Amino acid sequence: MENNKNQLREKLNDYFTNIFEKSLIDEIVDVGKFKSFKKGELLVDIGDEMTHIPLILNGAVKIIRENKNKDEILLYYLERGQTCSISFVNCINQSKSMFRGVVENYTECIFIPINRIENWLIKYKTWREYIIDSYHDRLIEMVEAIRSLAFTNLDERIKKYLIEQVKIKQNKNLNITHQEIADDLNSSRVVISRLLKKLEIDKKIKLGRNKLKVIKL
Protein backbone atom coordinates (compact mmCIF):
# COMPACT_ATOMS: atom_id res chain seq x y z
CA MET A 1 0.00 0.00 0.00
CA GLU A 2 2.74 2.40 0.99
CA ASN A 3 4.47 1.36 -2.19
CA ASN A 4 1.43 2.31 -4.27
CA LYS A 5 1.31 5.73 -2.70
CA ASN A 6 4.94 6.29 -3.57
CA GLN A 7 4.34 5.29 -7.15
CA LEU A 8 1.39 7.63 -7.26
CA ARG A 9 3.51 10.46 -5.95
CA GLU A 10 6.14 9.76 -8.54
CA LYS A 11 3.65 9.87 -11.37
CA LEU A 12 2.14 13.07 -10.02
CA ASN A 13 5.54 14.66 -9.79
CA ASP A 14 6.08 14.07 -13.48
CA TYR A 15 3.67 16.76 -14.36
CA PHE A 16 1.62 18.21 -11.54
CA THR A 17 4.42 19.19 -9.27
CA ASN A 18 4.74 22.53 -11.07
CA ILE A 19 1.04 23.13 -10.84
CA PHE A 20 0.07 22.13 -7.32
CA GLU A 21 1.59 23.07 -3.99
CA LYS A 22 3.19 20.36 -1.92
CA SER A 23 0.40 20.01 0.64
CA LEU A 24 -2.14 19.57 -2.14
CA ILE A 25 -0.01 16.88 -3.80
CA ASP A 26 0.07 15.15 -0.41
CA GLU A 27 -3.70 15.17 -0.20
CA ILE A 28 -4.08 13.92 -3.77
CA VAL A 29 -1.75 11.03 -3.03
CA ASP A 30 -3.74 10.32 0.08
CA VAL A 31 -7.27 10.19 -1.37
CA GLY A 32 -6.69 9.66 -5.09
CA LYS A 33 -7.29 6.33 -6.74
CA PHE A 34 -4.95 5.34 -9.53
CA LYS A 35 -6.48 3.74 -12.59
CA SER A 36 -5.25 2.85 -16.05
CA PHE A 37 -7.22 2.36 -19.24
CA LYS A 38 -6.44 0.61 -22.48
CA LYS A 39 -7.21 2.05 -25.89
CA GLY A 40 -10.90 1.88 -26.67
CA GLU A 41 -12.09 1.71 -23.06
CA LEU A 42 -14.53 4.24 -21.68
CA LEU A 43 -13.35 6.65 -19.03
CA VAL A 44 -16.86 7.98 -18.69
CA ASP A 45 -20.07 7.37 -20.59
CA ILE A 46 -23.14 9.48 -21.24
CA GLY A 47 -25.48 9.18 -18.30
CA ASP A 48 -22.86 8.10 -15.79
CA GLU A 49 -23.18 9.40 -12.28
CA MET A 50 -20.08 11.34 -11.49
CA THR A 51 -18.56 10.51 -8.16
CA HIS A 52 -14.94 11.27 -8.98
CA ILE A 53 -13.07 13.48 -11.37
CA PRO A 54 -10.03 12.22 -13.24
CA LEU A 55 -6.66 13.93 -13.43
CA ILE A 56 -4.94 12.70 -16.57
CA LEU A 57 -1.36 11.65 -15.90
CA ASN A 58 -0.62 10.58 -19.46
CA GLY A 59 -2.35 9.24 -22.54
CA ALA A 60 -5.26 10.79 -24.38
CA VAL A 61 -9.04 10.70 -24.05
CA LYS A 62 -11.45 11.69 -26.77
CA ILE A 63 -14.49 13.53 -25.51
CA ILE A 64 -17.60 13.25 -27.62
CA ARG A 65 -21.26 14.16 -27.43
CA GLU A 66 -23.80 11.88 -29.03
CA ASN A 67 -27.20 13.00 -30.24
CA LYS A 68 -30.39 11.01 -30.80
CA ASN A 69 -29.48 9.84 -34.29
CA LYS A 70 -26.30 8.29 -32.90
CA ASP A 71 -24.20 10.92 -34.60
CA GLU A 72 -21.15 11.79 -32.61
CA ILE A 73 -19.63 15.20 -32.28
CA LEU A 74 -15.98 15.27 -31.41
CA LEU A 75 -15.51 18.01 -28.86
CA TYR A 76 -11.90 17.84 -27.76
CA TYR A 77 -9.15 15.63 -26.42
CA LEU A 78 -7.90 15.43 -22.87
CA GLU A 79 -4.19 14.96 -22.45
CA ARG A 80 -1.50 14.94 -19.80
CA GLY A 81 -2.10 17.36 -16.99
CA GLN A 82 -5.70 18.03 -17.91
CA THR A 83 -8.98 17.13 -16.36
CA CYS A 84 -12.54 17.01 -17.50
CA SER A 85 -13.70 20.18 -15.83
CA ILE A 86 -17.15 19.59 -17.20
CA SER A 87 -17.35 16.50 -15.04
CA PHE A 88 -16.35 18.76 -12.21
CA VAL A 89 -19.66 20.62 -12.36
CA ASN A 90 -21.49 17.35 -12.82
CA CYS A 91 -19.93 16.24 -9.58
CA ILE A 92 -20.87 19.30 -7.62
CA ASN A 93 -24.51 19.33 -8.62
CA GLN A 94 -24.57 15.54 -8.84
CA SER A 95 -25.95 15.45 -12.34
CA LYS A 96 -25.13 12.88 -14.98
CA SER A 97 -22.40 13.09 -17.56
CA MET A 98 -23.38 14.65 -20.86
CA PHE A 99 -20.30 13.33 -22.56
CA ARG A 100 -18.51 10.16 -23.41
CA GLY A 101 -14.79 9.85 -22.89
CA VAL A 102 -13.14 7.23 -25.09
CA VAL A 103 -9.54 6.35 -24.37
CA GLU A 104 -7.42 6.87 -27.49
CA ASN A 105 -4.08 5.79 -26.08
CA TYR A 106 -3.17 3.87 -22.99
CA THR A 107 -4.11 6.36 -20.28
CA GLU A 108 -3.27 6.66 -16.62
CA CYS A 109 -5.22 8.87 -14.30
CA ILE A 110 -6.02 9.59 -10.70
CA PHE A 111 -9.61 9.77 -9.58
CA ILE A 112 -10.40 12.33 -6.92
CA PRO A 113 -13.59 11.85 -4.90
CA ILE A 114 -16.02 14.71 -5.15
CA ASN A 115 -16.24 15.37 -1.46
CA ARG A 116 -12.70 16.73 -1.59
CA ILE A 117 -12.75 18.89 -4.63
CA GLU A 118 -15.13 21.53 -3.31
CA ASN A 119 -13.17 21.91 -0.15
CA TRP A 120 -9.92 22.17 -2.09
CA LEU A 121 -11.36 25.10 -4.04
CA ILE A 122 -11.37 27.09 -0.85
CA LYS A 123 -8.25 25.63 0.64
CA TYR A 124 -5.83 25.73 -2.29
CA LYS A 125 -5.20 28.62 -4.62
CA THR A 126 -3.41 26.36 -7.13
CA TRP A 127 -6.40 24.02 -7.27
CA ARG A 128 -8.74 26.94 -7.87
CA GLU A 129 -6.57 28.22 -10.69
CA TYR A 130 -6.19 24.78 -12.19
CA ILE A 131 -9.94 24.22 -12.35
CA ILE A 132 -10.65 27.67 -13.77
CA ASP A 133 -7.87 27.35 -16.37
CA SER A 134 -9.13 23.94 -17.28
CA TYR A 135 -12.60 25.34 -17.82
CA HIS A 136 -11.21 28.11 -19.93
CA ASP A 137 -9.19 25.70 -22.08
CA ARG A 138 -12.16 23.43 -22.70
CA LEU A 139 -14.30 26.39 -23.66
CA ILE A 140 -11.71 27.66 -26.14
CA GLU A 141 -11.41 24.25 -27.68
CA MET A 142 -15.15 23.91 -28.05
CA VAL A 143 -15.44 27.31 -29.69
CA GLU A 144 -12.72 26.20 -32.09
CA ALA A 145 -14.60 22.96 -32.77
CA ILE A 146 -17.71 24.97 -33.62
CA ARG A 147 -15.78 27.37 -35.84
CA SER A 148 -14.21 24.47 -37.67
CA LEU A 149 -17.58 22.82 -38.21
CA ALA A 150 -19.32 25.96 -39.34
CA PHE A 151 -16.75 27.68 -41.50
CA THR A 152 -14.22 25.25 -42.88
CA ASN A 153 -14.63 22.62 -45.54
CA LEU A 154 -13.95 18.96 -45.11
CA ASP A 155 -10.45 18.79 -46.54
CA GLU A 156 -9.28 21.43 -44.07
CA ARG A 157 -10.97 19.55 -41.27
CA ILE A 158 -9.21 16.35 -42.29
CA LYS A 159 -5.83 18.07 -42.23
CA LYS A 160 -6.56 19.53 -38.83
CA TYR A 161 -7.71 16.14 -37.61
CA LEU A 162 -4.55 14.41 -38.82
CA ILE A 163 -2.31 17.02 -37.23
CA GLU A 164 -4.19 16.54 -33.96
CA GLN A 165 -3.84 12.77 -34.20
CA VAL A 166 -0.08 13.00 -34.75
CA LYS A 167 0.17 15.19 -31.66
CA ILE A 168 -1.88 12.84 -29.53
CA LYS A 169 -0.30 9.61 -30.69
CA GLN A 170 3.15 11.18 -30.68
CA ASN A 171 3.70 9.38 -33.95
CA LYS A 172 3.46 10.26 -37.63
CA ASN A 173 2.37 6.72 -38.39
CA LEU A 174 -1.29 6.53 -37.47
CA ASN A 175 -3.13 3.25 -37.10
CA ILE A 176 -6.51 4.38 -38.18
CA THR A 177 -9.07 3.43 -40.81
CA HIS A 178 -10.85 5.75 -43.19
CA GLN A 179 -14.09 4.72 -41.55
CA GLU A 180 -12.89 5.85 -38.13
CA ILE A 181 -11.91 9.22 -39.51
CA ALA A 182 -15.31 9.47 -41.18
CA ASP A 183 -17.04 8.73 -37.87
CA ASP A 184 -15.04 11.37 -36.04
CA LEU A 185 -15.76 14.02 -38.65
CA ASN A 186 -19.35 12.90 -39.26
CA SER A 187 -18.67 12.16 -42.88
CA SER A 188 -18.73 8.99 -44.95
CA ARG A 189 -15.93 6.57 -45.72
CA VAL A 190 -15.97 7.12 -49.48
CA VAL A 191 -15.61 10.85 -49.11
CA ILE A 192 -12.75 10.53 -46.65
CA SER A 193 -11.02 8.06 -48.97
CA ARG A 194 -11.32 10.51 -51.85
CA LEU A 195 -9.82 13.37 -49.92
CA LEU A 196 -7.06 11.24 -48.40
CA LYS A 197 -6.17 10.07 -51.90
CA LYS A 198 -5.77 13.69 -52.94
CA LEU A 199 -3.47 14.33 -49.98
CA GLU A 200 -1.44 11.31 -50.98
CA ILE A 201 -1.09 12.52 -54.56
CA ASP A 202 0.11 15.85 -53.17
CA LYS A 203 2.73 13.88 -51.22
CA LYS A 204 1.30 15.13 -47.92
CA ILE A 205 0.54 11.66 -46.57
CA LYS A 206 1.17 8.02 -47.40
CA LEU A 207 -1.75 5.60 -47.30
CA GLY A 208 -1.86 1.97 -46.25
CA ARG A 209 -4.38 -0.51 -44.99
CA ASN A 210 -5.44 0.38 -41.45
CA LYS A 211 -2.70 2.95 -41.30
CA LEU A 212 -1.45 6.16 -42.77
CA LYS A 213 1.69 8.19 -42.48
CA VAL A 214 1.68 11.94 -42.23
CA ILE A 215 4.54 13.38 -44.25
CA LYS A 216 3.94 17.11 -44.33
CA LEU A 217 0.70 18.99 -43.87
Partner DNA sequence: CCATTAAGATACT
Partner DNA sequence: AGTATCTTAATGG
Binding positions for DNA, rule: CB under 7 A: 153-155, 177-179, 186-191, 193-197, 207-211
Q: Which is nearer to DNA, 58 or 193 (CB)?
A: 193
Alpha-carbon distances, residue 72 vs 64, 68, 205, 215 (angstroms): 6, 9, 26, 28
Residue 167 CB, nearest distance to DNA (Å)? 20
Q: Which is nearer to DNA, 17 or 152 (CB)?
A: 152
Q: Do the beta carbons of residue 41 and residue 103 sit within 8 Å? A: yes
Q: Which is nearer to DNA, 9 or 206 (CB)?
A: 206
* DSSP assignment string, 69-117: TS-EEEEEEEETT-B-HHHHHHHHTT-B---EEEESS-EEEEEEEHHHH
Q: Which is nearer to DNA, 21 or 71 (CB)?
A: 71
Kind plus residue range of the DSSP H or E element containing 53: strand 52-58
Residue 101 CB, nearest distance to DNA (Å)? 23
Q: Which is nearer to DNA, 126 or 193 (CB)?
A: 193
Could you give phi then psi for residue 23, rounded to 5 degrees?
-65, -30
Q: What is the Cα–Cα distance from 53 to 56, expressed in whole angstroms?
A: 10
